[in-house]
Amino acid sequence: MNSIVAPPAQYREITAADMPALFYVRTRTRENAYTLEQLHHLDITPESVAQKLASSFKGWLCAVADQVVAFCMANRSTGELWVIAVLPQYEGRGIGGQLMSLAEQWLWQSGCSRAWLTTDVDTTLRAYGFYRHRGWTDWKVEAGLRWMELFPAAAASNEGSNHASVRGVAQQVAQPHRRARGFLLAHIGGGAPFNSYVDMVSCVNGGEWGSALSASR
């Protein structure tokens, strides 16, 4: 009896054409999901996110069988991990961790000496454990949010065990046009700042957009 082989996960950089797919993902996360109307009320729209990508933001996505299933975005001007989101059915496959690694490495390469994010104050949520597992530590609790930070040394220590895996993903992303062409027109998968293994990755300027990790180690 032949076993069914699951299609491989493909990673690449986000482009403006991916906005519909990103919002699809962002509105379907397991925790802290938002409707399109709620995001629009917060001025989180495909247009506003595309503008961020044209400035100091950069993002990466994961696609499986031409469907966007997760994404992550960061801001090099502030060192903030703005959002990471994963569809519930793709949690637990390491996708969230790979996307986080790409964002973290980009921040270090961009000259950031520290990365930061905001999440829920509840330490029993899966998001908190996910961040701690990756080397993130508590910074402060303020305005009803837990602020966490990461330094290059801690990130390097965490990546040591899966360096080959992360390097392989980076090699994929290094050729975004070759691998992405089939995804650019995909009208599925999307969101706005979002997270999916963590529970609430919200940021000061776009918290709700980046507040919805649900689980994807």
CA angle 64, 192, 39 (to 5 degrees): 135
Q: What is the CA radius of gyration of the chain?
A: 16
Per-residue pLDDT 10s for the chain (217 aa) are 566 777 899 999 999 999 999 999 999 998 777 899 999 999 999 999 999 999 999 999 999 999 999 999 999 999 999 999 999 999 999 999 999 999 999 999 999 999 999 988 999 988 899 899 999 999 999 999 999 999 998 888 776 655 544 455 555 564 443 332 222 222 222 223 333 333 333 333 344 555 444 333 3
Answer whether residue 200 is part of any domain: no
Separation of alpha carbons 72 and 132, rounded Å: 18
Task: Provide the number of structural domains found in the chain.
Answer: 1
pTM, 2 dp: 0.74
Question: For residue 202, which of 148, 150, 158, 125 has the smallest C-alpha distance?
Answer: 148
Separation of alpha carbons 68 and 24, rounded Å: 9
Q: How does DSSP classify residue 55?
A: T
For the four alpha carbons of 104, 153, 110 and 80, in that order, the dihedral sign comes to positive
Question: For residue 137, which of 149, 124, 152 has the smallest C-alpha distance?
Answer: 149
Answer whether residue 197 is part of any domain: no
Answer whether residue 198 is part of any domain: no
Answer whether residue 205 is part of any domain: no
Say what angle helices 19-26 and 46-53 make with each other, to 10 degrees: 110
Answer whether residue 215 is part of any domain: no
Answer whether residue 95 is part of any domain: yes
Q: Assign residue 35 the CATH number of its domain.
A: 3.40.630.30
Domain with 66 in it: 9-180
Answer whether residue 216 is part of any domain: no
Element spanning 24, H or E: helix 19-26
Answer whether residue 119 is part of any domain: yes
Separation of alpha carbons 150 and 138, rounded Å: 9
SS3 70: strand
pLDDT digits (tens, 9 = 90+) for 133-165: 999 999 999 999 999 999 998 888 776 655 544
Separation of alpha carbons 43 and 20, rounded Å: 16
